[in-house]
Structure 1
Amino acid sequence: MIRTIWFLAKVAIVVAIAIWLVERPGHVSVVWQGYVVETSFAMMVLILAVALGAAAVLYRLFRALWTAPSDIARYSRRRKRERGYRALTRGMVAVAAGDAGTARRMARKADGLLDEPPLTMLLQAQSAQLAGDEDAARRYFTAMLERPETAFLGLRGLLNQALRAGDRVEALALARRAQRIQPDTPWLLATLVDLEARAGDWAAAESTLQQAVQVGAVTPEEGRHRRAALLLERSYEAERRGRDDAADGHARAANDLLPGFVPAAARLARLLVKAGRTRKAMKVVQRAWRQNPHTELADAYREAIGAYDPLARAKQFQKLASYAPNHVESHLAVARAAMDAKLWGEARSHLTKAMEIEPSHRVYALLAELERGEHGNDEAAQTWLAQAASAPADPAWTCRACGHPAHAWSGLCESCGAFDTLEWKSPSLALHLTAGEHTRTGANTNLPTVIEAAR
């Protein structure tokens, strides 16, 4: 609509000028080289307009002919880039679809059409990996290191290859090299924390972890848990080197950072016992027991009061249980102490309550020990052990990555090497059934083993 109005306006202007010239005739005479040209003023204006139009057309034609070679070359380059990008896109789609043959063909075609190594080399490397040619992929990734704009992509490719091959030493070196190029890359920081922890470089892992939390690669809650695990490993390392003060400081920092974290509280309590500060150790366990009653805390508490006589130990465990009176671990801890003090009635009462809350292999084993200790009744003990064979498995430190149970907490899984993946939970059913078979097939000779496990 606007264009139509503008066109009509221009036509009206031209008509108005033509009418104005017709109504005002004039005479123009041109003398040049002995020639005399006479015409009206309106005709002269028309001739000039036609001449200017012809000149403009000739100029544009000349310019088009003059720039034709460069325009043709530019058009050819544009078409070539379009074909190259189409090949690149088809190659990426083929990689995503798992079509190795098409991916490699498109990679070669894109490389011939495009002069953009960051894209074509990456596609070539990915297509080689898809075809199972890791050596060719490594060559492409290594070649990418020679260009600043592709160095990070090359390092990432080589890093992934090293991780798949299980070469953690090479992976750690590549990750640190990549961090120098892109220091705040979230996925890289998370990977680097894991690699440094697996390498036992606890201090470096702690520093990288703090940076990972800052950039959002690790959530604050996960960061606190992982840092507590790192601090505990630093505590163990310091103790091995004879630096007891540092060991105590790291364990204390872990316990303060994550209250209720059983490995930290138990570790700190044992270090305090070692230093002769048993009262302080008892308070550490009591504070942790309020939040998370646990068999390892009970073991640490037993070490702290080891110098007490059996009756005094039983009273101390009653005090500990008062911080979580309805928890199954409280009843088991008091029952264990009562049995040591030969308080059979109290032990039976707490084991009965534990049975009502959460029947488990450990509860039945302690009931079997109670029958032997109080009455010397092997037959009744074997009855309890038969029930223990089919009872729910006792929880253990179990890796959530591979499912392997560990004898004790550690920052690294002893099976798969994963960092900070041990959780207190029941192990797999197969492991429990295997343990149950040993219990069922044994007689009195197996009883001490089962009882020792219950302790």
Structure 2
Amino acid sequence: MIRGGIVIFIVAAVAVAILALTGDPGRASVAWLGWRADMTAATLVLIVFFTSLVATVGWRTLLWILAAPQRAARAREDNRRRQAGEALTRGFLAAAAGDGLEARRLALKAADLAEETPGLVRVLAAQAAEAAGDLAAAEAAYTAMLGFPEMRLAGLKGLMDLAFEQGDRDTALKYAEQAYGQTRAARWAWRALLEARLDAADWQAALDLVKGALDRKIVPPITAERARAALLAALAAQLEHSPEPKARAQALDNAVEAAKLQPGFAPGVVMAARLLAQDGKLAKAEGVIEQAWKTAPHPALWLAYRDLRTTETPQQRAKRLRELAGENPTHRESRILHVEQALVTGDAAAARDAARALEGEPVTARTAGLLARVAYASGQPDEARVWMARGMSAPHEPDWSDLDPEGRAFAYHASDWARLVATFAETGELIHPRFERHERPMSELPELPISYADSAPFLGPDGREPVLHPAEDHGFDEEEPVESMGPAPRRRGAVRRRLASGRRAAK
């Protein structure tokens, strides 16, 4: 209406201005029902303008009065919608906070107000029942959602969570399978099915799930690749000890593929190298470990590399270990390996030089044992004993814990493999189940004499000059009576210095 009045005003103003500029006001006569009115043209324009304006205002006023009921209805609907949105928002917040009573009250209020969003009302009702601990009502609410295509997936997820909460694993997995078959993007359903396959040690079924998730783009390619590598290694470990030749051949193929997919996954690499060596493919086994050492060195790798060949001389073995360390020379494991290869040949001076690269690092049981071996090889048994004493209370290294007391690497249970697969797939990091359980690893400290021997004299206060402490004979003469001591004590011989039973070769 305002815009119409402005247009009429502009038209009238333009007309009056034109008449004024021409200098001729003009004449206008109006005759109607016996009446005659004579006026100037400008006056007529103004009369028409005001008449049109009054008519427009009157018409718009009439329309506004007639539309009043519709406006009132719209206002009520807007207010209802606002109250419904507020009830839903507060209800979801109450359910998330665990306030079941408030959530159920708001859910009932939203059910009366939010007629346009029944899906949200049903979800709120189900979550409110869960928060209130009424699992039967929650199950009924989620079950009712299955009848609506747009809410079916949410209903299946709710029913799955309820079944897991009640300990009904089979029913929960049934709902997860339905959801996974219904949509290509149900990552939660895929995750539930994968965890069930891992718990059951069904590595092949888990592999199929990972492949399906990659095809559906549920997981990124790098996650799928890590999961496949870990699952292939777990499957190889399961088939490795099978009496059937076909199963052992399959184990070899799986381990090699795992090492190819993820060279940084040490369990798969060690297993591949071991199976290749058993198959007589030593060169290929060495290549697999060398590639893995470039990516992520692990103590189990160089130990497996060392044991691949058993007919070589110490010099040949040291040469191979030195070449392996050269694949990743700056890594800590490579610095340790330089010390190890020097000890293999008995080159104590080279071992001491290599051990200097470990100075400044926190002392662990493993490094203390290594330095004890270096000291003993250098003819310093006292220093070796000091390192042995420090190693007794030093912390253990997680990577070293992957070796059991018999030296077997990654000898895990099925539950350990399941956790290893899940963690490595998500983060790309190795877990250490034996370290978490505080299980005893392969011995980190060497078997050295722990008592003083004749060749190991006491050190003086300055740590250099030996100080002899002769033993005195405090024995009694059997013929000499001792009146004040009651029965004659037995004759004791001279106190002898306790000797070690013999040197044992250091590890």
Both proteins in one fold, TM over 0.5? yes
Farther off after superposition, 269-278 or 186-195? 186-195
Mapped contact 2:273–2:286 kept (Cα < 8 A):
yes
Paired residue for 1:393? 396
Q: CA deviation at 1:152?
A: 0.9
Distance 1:352 1:233 in 2: 36
Distance 1:274 1:415 in 2: 23
Distance 1:148 1:325 in 2: 60
Q: How does 1:330-341 map to 2 (within 5 A)?
A: 330-333=334-337, 335-336=339-340, 339=343, 341=344
Distance 2:439 2:411 in 1: 23
What secondary structure is seen at the aligned counterpart in 2 of 1:420? helix
Paired residue for 1:356? 359
Distance 1:253 1:156 in 2: 35
- Residue 314 (str. 1) matches residue 312 (str. 2): no
Between Structure 1 and Structure 2, which shows a larger proportion of helix residues? Answer: 1
Distance 2:418 2:284 in 1: 36
Paired residue for 2:410? 408
What secondary structure is seen at the aligned counterpart in 2 of 1:150? helix
Paired residue for 1:279? 283
Paired residue for 2:175? 174
Q: CA deviation at 1:269?
A: 0.6
Unpaired segments ≥5 residues, structure 2: 14-27, 36-58, 403-407, 452-503
TM-score when normalising by structure 2: 0.63
- Residue 328 (str. 1) matches residue 329 (str. 2): no
Report which of the two structures shows the higher radius of gyration computed on alpha carbons: 2
Distance 1:433 1:247 in 2: 28
- Residue 270 (str. 1) matches residue 271 (str. 2): no
Mapped contact 1:331–1:350 kept (Cα < 8 A):
no
Q: How does 1:146-295 map to 2 (within 5 A)?
A: 146-163=147-164, 169-213=170-214, 217-241=218-242, 242=244, 243-295=247-299
Q: CA deviation at 1:130?
A: 1.9
Paired residue for 2:304? 300
Mapped contact 2:364–2:395 kept (Cα < 8 A):
yes
Deviations 1:74-124 (A, max 9, x none): 998887666544433331232244433221101122234455552222111
Deviations 1:331-353 (A, max 9, x none): 434544555x5615267436624
Distance 1:171 1:419 in 2: 22
Mapped contact 1:239–1:247 kept (Cα < 8 A):
yes
Mapped contact 1:289–1:323 kept (Cα < 8 A):
yes
Q: How does 1:82-97 map to 2 (within 5 A)?
A: 83-97=83-97
Q: CA deviation at 1:178?
A: 0.8
Number of equivalenced pairs? 411
Structure 1 residues 412, 137: closer, same or farther in 2, change over 3 A?
Answer: farther
Mapped contact 1:84–1:114 kept (Cα < 8 A):
yes
Structure 2: which amino acid aligns with 1:230? L
Deviations 1:282-340 (A, max 9, x none): 2221222233222111122133113434443333223322323444323434544555x
Distance 1:249 1:407 in 2: 19
Q: CA deviation at 1:153?
A: 0.8
Paired residue for 1:120? 121
Q: Percent identity?
A: 32
Distance 1:195 1:333 in 2: 41
Farther off after superposition, 131-140 or 349-358? 349-358
Mapped contact 1:270–1:303 kept (Cα < 8 A):
no
TM-score when normalising by structure 1: 0.69
Q: CA deviation at 1:281?
A: 1.0
Distance 1:155 1:130 in 2: 18
Paired residue for 2:370? 366
Q: CA deviation at 1:432?
A: 7.9
Structure 1 residues 11, 371: closer, same or farther in 2, change over 3 A?
Answer: closer
Unpaired segments ≥5 residues, structure 1: 13-21, 27-37, 41-55, 400-405, 446-450
Q: CA deviation at 1:263?
A: 2.2
Distance 2:417 2:100 in 1: 35
Q: CA deviation at 1:354?
A: 5.3
Paired residue for 1:53? none
